[in-house]
Amino acid sequence: MSLKSWIRCEKYDLKCAIDNQPWAANAQQLYRTTVLEASSRTTFWGPTSNSGGNPSDLHSGERLPGSNGSKPTSLNQAAVQRRNGLDRNVLDLDPNVKSHLFDIYLKHIQPFFPVVSSYSIQAYPPTPLLEAVICAVAAKHRLAIASWRDLEYTRGFIQEQLAQMFSLRAKYEPKVQTVQALVIACARFEILNKDYADFLNVAITMALMCKMAQDLMLDESLKVNDDTDDTKFRRQLWKSCMFMDVFKAAIYGQTPNLHQDYWIGLDRSLLLRRETGPLSPSDIAFDDFVALACHLERIIRSLYITQRSEPSKLLGQITSIFHLLDRCQKLVSSHLHLYDHDTSRALQMYVHNNRLLIVLGVKLSELGEGPAISELKGIVEQQRELVVHEAIQTLSWLDGELTHSPFTEMGFILYFVSRALLVVVSQLNTLGTTSAQSNPLVSRLLEATESARSFSDRLLELNRWGVEWYQAHTIRGILGRINVESRAPVEYESQPVPQEVEPSFDELSMDSMWATEDWEALVESCGFDSWIFPNFESTL
């Protein structure tokens, strides 16, 4: 065995020799002795997934006591039992592989998304479904050593477990472990879906997750003042459910599953917690994400639902939303010194996205006329330039480190990037790309699009289907709309402007975007990717 292999084994504390043979020679011998058997997943290790180690290093390769070379190993025995219909509800992963993936999850994902903790593993032993979800998410991490065959088997196991859960004859049994599994799985839609077009599974899974969380009365943990380990865990799990509910509602263009009263209670609880005991930086960061989710829920219900309030009531709601945004932005700014580089940027991207949704929602609202309406439109006019500059800022933060951050791993940042890129491309088409030398704003817009293009290339270099693959092609599709959507002034809006006709310098202003853009048509034109930018006017 090469020196490099021994160094890797020593680094990861792995068993590189199996029966006093290198793993490659032992694997070949194992194949020759079992070639007459039906092919099983555990016979073939598959290629390396992410970090450069060989996945077979993690497999124990131990033989059954008293067995010889012609008999199947314990790994193959489990596969044979599964083919015969035995132990179908047991996750057949090598203990070393499972332990390695759990370590990856607890070290790199759990700190910023506290659904599973060391306490919950002891108090609520993981079910096979929860184990499979943790292993599947961790296997896609860049530092994981896991076979793609193990990952595919785990995905199939999860889908089989969910199929049993949703079957007509299945008994409804709400469990804490099931809620944990569904929260984690919904963050990575490729774990739940067989292909990219089957997004309905996520919506159904989200509804079941919220139903179980309510039946388990996890929200009661917000009303309890004690800080026992169990109360803390249930409180974090409830906040994770609410965060995921509103986040997926915004992505898929749906109304949140949980009632508005739950969000009001959560907002009050967050304010109370900040005023009481000290919190760790990771807890403060997660609470800030949840606070922004509460604000996003208010935006969706006030501006993007099908049946809106009366204009007078809607005016008060919009004014309140702007005040809440200012409060959230000040809250995040006061905590930035506590966070690392990626966390601070992710939180600021969330603030930028919420402001964009407010301005776009007001543009699509039919508020009528009146002094109060004019005042509100004046407030929106003050926010419009800030939205464009924040979108540019969001795209300028897309460096190599952010590509491998946990927020990108779970798909949260990718949602903000696509929204910001739509604004940048729309503004760039309005101003024109030929005035980059005379207009500094156009130069910044072009730099933002190049940053997004480089980010999509890095996502595609990961060579894995899922959120990254889907969003990378979404970004490329949005970039493909540059120099395609130039629009005429309002009075000539029905007549398309030839692309060879360039706007004069006097027309190249920030006002032209907001005065000439047909915002409703802009949203409807995003049918290329309704998952990223749904038609809020008709679906929310």
Q: What is the pLDDT of residues 466-494, one digit of tens each?
A: 778 878 888 998 998 887 544 333 333 33
pLDDT at 126: 92
pLDDT at 65: 44
Residue 177 tokens read as 């472990």
pLDDT at 5: 58
CB 424 within 8 A of CB 482: no
pLDDT at 56: 56
Q: Which residues contact 315 (CB under 8 A, 6 or more apart)?
A: 367, 372, 373, 376
Per-residue pLDDT of the chain in tens (540 residues, 90 and over written 9): 555 555 666 666 666 666 677 666 666 666 555 444 433 333 334 444 455 555 555 655 544 344 444 433 434 444 444 444 445 678 888 888 888 999 989 988 888 888 998 899 999 999 999 999 999 988 888 888 877 778 888 888 998 898 888 888 888 889 999 999 999 988 887 787 766 556 667 888 888 999 999 999 888 877 777 778 888 899 889 989 989 998 888 887 788 888 877 767 676 666 666 656 667 778 888 888 888 888 888 888 888 876 666 666 777 788 888 888 888 888 888 888 888 888 888 889 999 999 999 888 887 776 667 777 777 777 787 888 889 999 999 999 988 777 778 787 777 888 889 989 999 998 888 887 655 556 788 889 999 999 999 998 888 887 666 778 878 888 998 998 887 544 333 333 333 333 333 333 233 333 333 343 444 443 343 333 333 333 333 322
pLDDT at 188: 81
Determine the length of the chain. 540
Residue 60 tokens read as 């124990």
Measured on CA atoms in the order 436, 439, 442, 443, is the torsion positive or negative? positive
pLDDT at 468: 80
* Measured distance CA(482)–CA(98) in Å, rounded: 46
pLDDT at 392: 93
pLDDT at 526: 38
| Alpha carbon distances (Å) from 403 to 78, 200, 406, 451 | 38, 27, 9, 12
